[in-house]
Structure 1
Amino acid sequence: MTISLTSVIKKLLVLFLIFSGLYFTKDFLIPLCIGGILATLFLPFCNWLEKKKLSKGIAVFICFLGLLLLIFVLISLLGYKISELINDVAVLKQKSIETVNQIQKYIFNNLNISIDQQYKILKNEQPSYANMVQIMIGSITNFLSSFILLLVYFVFLLYYRNHIKSFLIKLTEKSQQEEMQKIIQKVTSVSQQYLLGLSKMIFLLWVMYGIGFSILGVQNAIFFAILCGLLEIVPFIGNITGTTLTVLVAAIHGANFELLGGIVIVYGIVQLIQGWILEPLILGPQVKINSLFTIIALVLGELIWGIPGIILAIPLTAMFKIVCDHIEPMKPYGFLIGEIENKKTKKYFKK
């Protein structure tokens, strides 16, 4: 059987157009996707409130307050520890100056570039303060506008969820409407399960990192435990980043090699527990994507949407797989993305 070259070119062109559209509409789609996924997290709570004879508007408003409370608690946890860390700014500044001086001396001794020349090079490479302030203001404005949009989407997607569901069902033929209902139910379910599972795992990581760092005597151990746990939202990269920051700050504080090695060992032990116990038990049943396409999804997510793309890559790919599994022409793609089934394990569970 031969595959038509024209057919392959058409498919590649469609893919290119899809990814181009995702890239150029990221300012619109990122808040919408995050708001939608958070809405699915609060969906069971909203349904429960409505069953208690509360009106839809009041139920949605309570969910909105719950989301704000959750965000406030997370910011408070980090903010409290950041305020403690700020007390050590003088020490960190002094250590940083010493480190910079050592680097300058190394460059002078090995590359024969004087300190004055180094300053001139840095001055030419660095943007002006006006440009830095402008960039900072632009970033803050963009973040605040995206955050407000996210909250607006969260509220209205929860409020109009039945209306949107009815619209999607009306789009399909009558013979396929039952299948569409199953797709909608499974897509919302996988989003809920993923977020709940991720929340449970982050909490357990807080506990494990907190115990490990406290036993070692790491300064601001709870802060770094919370940071390492929260960065788990960014798969693969987040936990490494959190541990690297912990090691760097500990080194700047003058930690010895035993303490730095202990931090790395704690990281390794936690990763073993996470990879072999927590992920299969908590996240495994919800996100059935093989490792290859997990990495591909993360890389594409970063290229198209940056850090938000990395965060959204896994749940969106899991949703896409569910859609593929329920549409006949797309089932091969769902099979490709999914995990390899172990026939022995499958037979065991059937028994």
Structure 2
Amino acid sequence: MASGKKILQFSALSILLLYFTFSGLIKAKPFLAPLSIAIILALLVYPLSRLMERSFMNRATASLINTILIFLISIGFFALLSMQVKNLADDWPKIKETMKPKIEQLEQFVLDRTPLNTSDLKDSSGNTSFPYIGIGSNPRKKAAGLINSVMSFFGTYLLTFVYIFFTLNYRKHFKRFLLKLFPDDRRQKIEDVITNSANVTQQYLLGKLILIAFLTVFYSIGLGLSGVSNFILVSVLAAVFSIIPYVGNVIGFGMAMVFGYLTSGDPMVLVGISLTFFIGQFIESYIMNPYVVGDKVDLHPFAVIVSVIVGNLVWGIIGMILAIPILAIINVIFQNVEPLQPFGYLLSKENKSDGK
């Protein structure tokens, strides 16, 4: 009875701890999300910054240059994204005209094969609502809400680069702070954990960059031969979105569908897009990921899936992007702290030597 009571108390405390932890993470998203992104990006450019410091410049200058480099790359990505949105707006009348007979055929199929009638379909189409768009809503409130969202986004966006600069420039100061939290006999172990955490994150991100470059070239060839308009822009964006586990590939496929099949209505374009993404995902999953990305993080596939789902629930798309690097760092900590090593084994891939 006593042991059962302890188990019940421990379980209740664990559930409460998890609840308040994730509730706190959700509430702290405006602060923690840009800070986490900044740390991950700082780790990505850390080798380049260190090389600059050793060669010809001081740390502050190298940190500033690398921060500006990341800023320019992000500006280029947003420029590509805005161009794609503009092209979508320009092609929208053509897409509507092309898809109109197909939508009518689909509606007729639904009417013939289901209990729904014409009025039901009209009611369902009329109930669709979008943020800042709606009949009878106050235009001033919509405009104020949109401006507030845009200003909040750009404030967080610029703050991220401030975090990147300070993380790169004062990294040794932060590292010494972490080491001072532990007794002298534990500091070497803690330094190894910090180094391994940084290495595994860098290797994962570099592997992802190689994968994005490969997918950009492959998608460009496949979508270009398939007849997709603006295929280079679509390929670049689809490859970049692949950094979002599982969901990113669906987004890329959807963009190719919009600018390929929905614009032309040609079934052969649909076949070409489907083959391009099917072959690309096969190469990514069975060749590129295992040999370029997969071995860098040593995470069990189930743990990866769970972390992506939890990341989405906590921080949305940003959480999905950060899920694997953060889980890799947590795994390194678990493997180097003796009481937590069973959790490290749970998160890691199973070795053949482990047996059944």
CA distance in 1 between counterparts of 2:172 and 2:256 reads 46
- Cα 1:116–1:263, aligned 2, differ >3 Å: closer, same or farther? closer
Displacement of 1:21: 1.5
State the shift of 1:99 in Å.
6.4
Pair 1:42 & 2:53 matched: no
Structure 2 match to 1:168: 178
Q: Aligned residues: percent identity?
A: 28
Question: Which position in structure 2 is the counterpart of 1:296?
Answer: 306
Aligned counterpart in structure 1 of residue 26 of structure 2, from 23, 27, 36: 23
- Kindly indicate whether the alpha-carbon contact (under 8 Å) linking 2:213 and 2:239 is maintained by their aligned counterparts in 1: yes
User: Cα deviation per residue 1:182-237 (whole Å; 9 max; x = unaligned)?
Assistant: 01101111111111111110010011111111122222221221121011011111
1:113 equivalent to 2:119? Answer yes
Q: In the TM superposition, what is the alpha-carbon distance from 1:97 to its structure 2 partner?
A: 6.3
Counterparts of 2:63 and 2:54 in 1: how far apart (Å)?
13
Shift of 1:166: 0.2
Q: Alpha-carbon deviations, 1:226-270, whole Å to 9, x = none?
A: 121011011111102211232244232233222212211211111
159-168 vs 70-79, which moves further = 70-79
Correspondence for 2:155 among 145, 155, 165 = 145
* Distance (Å, rounded) in 2 between the aligned partners of 1:88 and 1:115: 26
Measure the CA separation in 2 of the matches of 1:116 and 1:288. 51
Verify the 8 A CA contact 1:85 1:220 in the aligned structure 2: no
Amino acid in structure 2 at the alignment position of 1:60: S
CA displacement 1:296-345 (0-9 Å, x = unmatched):
10111011111100111110001110011111111111111111112299
1:342 aligns with 2:352: yes
Is the 1:40–1:188 contact (alpha carbons within 8 Å) kept by the matching residues of 2? yes
- Native 8 Å contact 2:80 2:237 kept in 1: no
What amino acid sits opposite 2:53 in the alignment? E
Q: Return 5+ residue gaps in structure 1 as ranges.
A: 346-351
1:166–1:122: structure 2 CA closer, same or farther, 3 Å change rule? Answer: closer
1:120 and 1:32 mapped to 2: Cα distance? 41
Cα distance 1:219–1:48, how it changes in 2: closer, same or farther (>3 A)? same
Mark the runs of 5 or more structure 2 residues left unpaired by the alignment. none
Deviation of residue 285 (structure 1)?
1.9
Give the letter aligned to residue 31 of structure 2: F
> Distance in 2 between the 1:106 and 1:140 partners?
42
1:247 counterpart residue number: 257
Q: 1:188 aligns with which of 187, 198, 211?
A: 198
The alpha-carbon distance between structure 1 residues 279 and 129, as it changes in their structure 2 partners (threshold 3 A), is farther
User: Residue deviations 1:23-61, cap 9 Å, x none?
Assistant: 111111000000011111111111111112422221111
What's the counterpart of residue 13 of structure 1?
Answer: 16
Deviation at 1:98, TM superposition (A): 6.3
Distance across 1 between alignment mates of 2:108 and 2:306: 43
CA distance in structure 1 between the aligned counterparts of 2:286 and 2:128, rounded to whole angstroms: 46
The answer to whether the aligner puts 1:156 opposite 2:166 as a matched pair is yes
SS in 1 for 2:297: coil
The CA deviation at 1:280 is: 1.0
Letter in 2 for 1:75: F
**For the residues of structure 1 that align with 2:69 and 2:297, how far apart are their CA atoms?**
26
Q: Distance in 2 between matches of 1:64 and 1:328?
A: 37
SS at match of 1:167: helix
Structure 2 match to 1:58: 61
- Aligned to 1:339, what secondary structure does the other structure show? coil
CA contact (8 A) 1:235 1:310 kept: yes
Question: In structure 1, what is the equivalent of residue 230 of structure 2?
Answer: 220
> Relative to structure 1, is the Cα distance of residues 327 and 114 closer, same or farther in structure 2, using a 3 angstrom cutoff?
closer
TM-score when scaled to structure 2? 0.87
RMSD: 2.9
SS at match of 2:237: helix
Question: TM-score scaled by structure 1?
Answer: 0.88
- Is the Cα–Cα contact under 8 Å of residues 228 and 259 in structure 2 kept in the other structure? no
| Mapping of residues 314-333 of structure 1, within 5 Å | 314-333=324-343
